Structure 1
Amino acid sequence: MGKSNTPLLRVDTLFSNVTDATGLPQNVASIIVGLIFAILIIVALYWFFGTEIGSACRATGNNEAMVRALGVDTKVTKMIALTLSNGLVGLSGGLICESQGYADIGMGTGAIVIGLAAIVIGEVLGRLTPGKLRSFGSRLTAAVVGSVVYFLIRAIVLQLGMDANDMKLISAVIVALALCIPVVWEKYQLRRAYARSAKAAPATPAANSEGGR
């Protein structure tokens, strides 16, 4: 950047071009552009991870020893995954800078917590749904939905009057709750299943009388 803060107010951006072309407000144009990029990225990732090298990258994350035993160079798959992830980080950072109209050297602070919270919330929503998210495409979509839900929670908390300087605490609480909710929900479902099975089980037959022994 060359300096700590770079304004983009007088620079033509993707969002300003969409606003000028459609006449829509800035916030609506930001939502539309964000949805388009999210859909394109989900489709592209779904296609890539369905290929042979993409499947190898996914398998490396699940069981590196097994993938190495199958003759796959895990160093290459790790490098591909890191390159892909950092490319997506750069793309999202560029979109955020153009949307907000400036670039600040501290804008990425806490982004890891936000990403973790988005993934965890998406997984929780997937577990709580009746059908549950099992396919890879559904999990990609759940990550995007989780990020939207995360920022909605933050906006609601700020509207309730909490100090904006406590956002790190809010993020930590959201992640903790998202990690605890599925565990509590699974235990609740397990107890309900035990209670139903106990009610459905037949009564224990009475002990035989002495004459029948």
Structure 2
Amino acid sequence: MEFVYPPVIAACKTLFRALDMRLDLRGTEHVPTSGGAVFACTHVSYLDFIFCGLAGLPAGRRTRFMAKKQVFDNRISGPLMRGMRHIPVDRSAGQGAYQHAVTALRSGELVGVFPEATISQSFTVKSLKTGAVRMATEANVPIVPVTVWGSQRLWTKGHPKNLTQRHLPILIRVGESFQPTPEDDLEAQTADLHTRLSALLDGAQRDYPDSPKPGEDPFWLPAHLGGTAPAPEPITA
């Protein structure tokens, strides 16, 4: 029995309705209805774990996200994060969080990770860490690519948060899962994940129904779409 996660989900949905947020969630048929899986999510805002977590709900799944330890140390967010059984990551001792995640996957949980490690300020997919593929391989579970677009308009790195915007479109896209294997090259599989996430994000950007208003700073658009976001960092292997 879980006492924290359900009311948090209900509170988020109530807020979405109050703001008349336009949530567009597609691809949930790719979420496994049972067994462990890695949710590998793009990262454009501080709120992405909320929207990525919505992708598991139609399949009756709750996602346990890996998040930096400081969030768990906060007196307000900490009890909520622990109550929802999310996984703290101490970057000075990351192996413990990794093993925690692998154990959760083997026990049948969905584990959410942000393989870019930090928010992409260019709003394109950054170079990925190999952890998502490594833990999926070790736990023998699939990876499910997930992308969110529009959340950066609420709260992203380098810009003040604006959490009361009404009628804001948020697009969530879930891609086909794939099963990494120990026989396959780790870097090649991580590059494959990057390709899948980039395709999902490109599709969400094409589908997005809003554009900057006249005189508005298009900070939330990547440079290749005419925005003022910084140019992407070079992709490294």
After TM superposition, the score normalised by the length of structure 1 is 0.26
Q: Which protein has the larger Cα radius of gyration, Structure 1 or Structure 2?
A: 1
Which one has a larger percent helix, Structure 1 or Structure 2?
A: 1
Scaled by the length of structure 2, what TM-score is found? 0.24
Q: Which has the higher strand share?
A: 2
**Structure with higher RCO (Cα < 8 A, 6+ apart):** 2
